[in-house]
């Protein structure tokens, strides 16, 4: 994160520049204090926010069990920067993170993000906070998995360009066929699922969601497996708005896919569908769901 040199900005008088060292108020390292990002809906009178997303940082003790969500995301290949305002100071952060903030903050009051809630220039603080990251993700009300924007990941010409939300509807349709991990859809439901769901566009879109670069991050293992609840979120440049799928919905969809696979015939059309389904069932989000399911059964 870069603090902007506002002396080069015509609006510099509105947003005072502070050295990075003074940007963060010190945390009590003898305790379990963390910082949380809170969205400011009304710009403070002392600050001109210039229509930028505006936030403030607040210190909370984990032992006090504060209500917050934790963000799990990938940097992505887009190196461009965007501006936000934190505590009256204009800062530059990666554009894909700003995109996540704009979409996610309206659905949660307090958000923990490593890049903003930790003073990355303070080695001692960074080490102290890293030691607490397991507790941070475990204690969060939910962990928000941010897959990014379709165009962020090079899928601008993909299925959702032509049929927005097909991936979202695919998961919800599959989840509706499955009551829970212990149950199985009826033969009639499976037949309807094969006829109505297993269309090329829906399978391809679902495969794209399971193949997002986010799932290749090594350190998301802790973030996903420790979470008591998760929401999978993404956006689509071609159709504004936040797409959200509860992890429980994804889990039910995965179980339905496993049942659908075993019910398909050996026709050429079905073989093609089986190949796509197998790729989805071997993907990282599927493996994470199996691990979470195993952990919950212990």
Full domain range(s) for residue 247: 149-297
pLDDT of residue 7: 34
β-sheet with 230-235: strand ranges across: 2-3, 89-94, 81-86, 54-61, 33-39, 110-112, 69-73, 142-149, 230-235, 242-246
Query: What does the alpha-carbon distance between residue 2 and residue 79 come to, in Å, rounded to a whole number?
Result: 13
For the chain, state the CA radius of gyration: 22
Same domain, 174 and 290: yes
pLDDT of residue 129: 94
pLDDT of residue 145: 95
Q: Which residues contact 137 (CB under 8 A, 6 or more apart)?
A: 70, 72, 143, 222, 223, 226, 227
pLDDT per position as a tens digit, 111-158: 999 999 999 889 999 999 999 999 999 999 999 999 887 644 444 344
Query: What does the alpha-carbon distance between residue 227 and residue 130 come to, in Å, rounded to a whole number?
Result: 16
Same domain, 279 and 163: yes
Per the domain annotation, does 279 fall within a domain?
yes
In percent, the amount of the chain with pLDDT more than 90 equals: 30
Backbone angles phi, psi at 53, to 5 degrees: -55, 130
Same domain, 132 and 163: no
Same domain, 260 and 126: no
Q: Which residues contact 265 (CB under 8 A, 6 or more apart)?
A: none
Output the pTM of the full model: 0.81
Per the domain annotation, does 68 fall within a domain?
no
DSSP H or E segment with residue 116? helix 114-117
Same domain, 15 and 110: yes
The upper half-sphere exposure of residue 64, i.e. CA atoms within 13 Å in the direction of its Cβ, equals 10
Place of tokens 């797409």: 243
pLDDT band at 35 (very low <50, low <70, confident <90, very high): very high
- Which one, of 187, 171, 147, 188, lies nearest residue 252 by Cα? 171
CA distances from 280 to 37, 180, 251, 285, 298 (A): 34, 19, 12, 8, 26
Token readout for 245 is 């799928």
Query: What does the alpha-carbon distance between residue 93 and residue 116 come to, in Å, rounded to a whole number?
Result: 9
Burial of residue 289 (CB within 10 Å: 0-12, 13-18, 19+) is: buried
Residues in the chain: 298
pLDDT of residue 203: 74
pLDDT of residue 192: 56
pLDDT, mean of residues 172-193? 62
Per the domain annotation, does 229 fall within a domain?
yes
Decide if pLDDT at 18 tops 90.
no
pLDDT per position as a tens digit, 72-105: 998 777 778 888 888 888 888 888 899 899 889 8
pLDDT of residue 81: 86
State the CB neighbour count (10 A cutoff) for residue 236: 21
Q: How many domains does the chain have?
A: 2
Same domain, 77 and 129: yes
Q: Looking at 179-291, which runs of residues are DSSP E strands?
A: 230-235, 242-246
């Amino acid at each position: 994160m870069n603090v902007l040199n506002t002396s080069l900005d015509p609006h510099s008088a509105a947003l005072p520049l502070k050295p990075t060292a003074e940007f963060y108020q010190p945390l009590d390292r003898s305790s379990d204090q963390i910082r949380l990002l809170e969205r400011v809906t009304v710009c403070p009178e002392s600050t001109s926010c210039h229509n930028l997303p505006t936030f403030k940082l607040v210190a909370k003790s984990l032992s006090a069990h504060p209500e917050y969500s934790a963000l799990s995301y990938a940097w992505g290949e887009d190196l461009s920067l965007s501006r936000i305002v934190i505590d009256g100071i204009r800062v530059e952060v990666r554009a894909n993170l700003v995109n996540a903030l704009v979409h996610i903050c309206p659905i949660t009051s307090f958000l923990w993000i490593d890049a903003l809630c930790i003073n990355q220039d303070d080695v001692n603080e960074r080490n102290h906070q890293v030691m607490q990251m397991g507790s941070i993700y475990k204690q969060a009300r939910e962990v928000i998995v941010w897959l990014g924007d379709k165009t962020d990941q090079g899928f601008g010409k993909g299925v959702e360009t032509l049929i927005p939300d097909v991936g979202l509807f695919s998961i919800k349709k599959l989840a509706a066929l499955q009551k829970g991990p212990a149950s199985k859809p009826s033969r009639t439901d499976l037949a309807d699922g094969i006829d109505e769901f297993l269309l090329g566009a829906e399978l391809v879109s679902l495969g794209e969601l399971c193949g997002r670069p986010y799932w290749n991050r090594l350190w998301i293992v802790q973030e996903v497996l420790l979470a008591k609840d998760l929401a999978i979120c993404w956006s689509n440049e071609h159709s504004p708005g936040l797409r959200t799928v509860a992890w429980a919905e994804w889990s039910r969809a995965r179980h339905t896919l496993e049942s659908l696979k075993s019910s398909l015939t050996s026709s050429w059309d079905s073989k093609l569908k089986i190949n796509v389904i197998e790729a989805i069932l071997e993907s990282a989000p599927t493996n994470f769901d199996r691990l979470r399911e195993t952990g919950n059964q212990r």
